[in-house]
Amino acid sequence: MRQAGADYLREETRCRGARPRVKAALFPYELDYGLAPGSGEFIRTAYGGEPGKLAMGDGYVTSGSWTSPVVQTFSPYLDEAVASWEEPAGHMDVEIRLRTGETPGGVAQAAFALLTSGQDLSLAPYFQVKVDFDETIRAWGLDDPGEADEFTAYAVDQGPDGGFESYASDGPGCLAAFSLAGRLTLPEREIIDPGGVRVDLARDFSELRTGDHVLILDNRVGQWLNRAANAYLQEPDWTRKQLALY
């Protein structure tokens, strides 16, 4: 005989006739994690000139980092996110970490967790991001041959025919298109009726068909009113939001 789990026991204690549990999430929300000129702590790195881009600083450096300020999400229900970024340019290893907490002080006491692109992560109302760069290959041209090391650009004489063959790295590396896409979980108490999905299917499933869904939600605190301070749909691209039901 199998032992009943805690989730099963909780469901068994629910009153007869109670509504089935439904989880609804709106997504994506492009989260502002603070990457901008002069924002956060840049150590031998620089803002790349476009959203989501961080570049290694100029000069004779092979490592660097950027730590964001502590950022607050606009809603306490925005409790999940997905991190993504392009493959780093240049010969460089990149590690991106995030820590989160219920308060700014809680963030400072939390440990950074290493992220992978496409990873789902839990998010508290406050969070902070850290990016570490470590270049594996980088080259410079030097006036004094005695200063040469494994990162120095060099040329090989092609005599006796003249000319030379030069060697150097691709230049400073960078991280591009880094984003955090948030998911807002609607409180269960606000779901009046989860509705039902209606869609006309092709008999042979050979093509996509459009469908519709009506989700009835409580709006007694004005969270669905346009421009309300506590509105769930604050972004200009609210028409592009998707809804996931579990």
Q: Could you report the per-residue pLDDT of 179-223, keeping only the tens digit for each?
A: 999 999 998 888 888 877 666 766 666 666 666 778 888 888 888
Give the pLDDT confidence of 104-150 residue by residue, as tens digits. 999 999 999 999 999 899 999 999 999 999 876 655 556 676 666 55
Distance CA 165, CA 155 (A): 5
Are 244 and 25 a contacting pair, CB within 8 Å? yes
Structure tokens at 184: 């807002």
∠ Cα 53 57 58 (to 5°): 130
- The average confidence (pLDDT) of the chain is 80
Q: What size, in residues, is the chain?
A: 246
Q: Which of 55, 53, 51, 41 is nearest to 130 (CA)?
A: 41
Record the pTM: 0.75
Structure tokens at 90: 């240049």
Distance CA 173, CA 68 (A): 19
More confident residue, 91 or 184: 184
Distance CA 190, CA 183 (A): 17
Tokens 């009113």 sit at which residue? 225
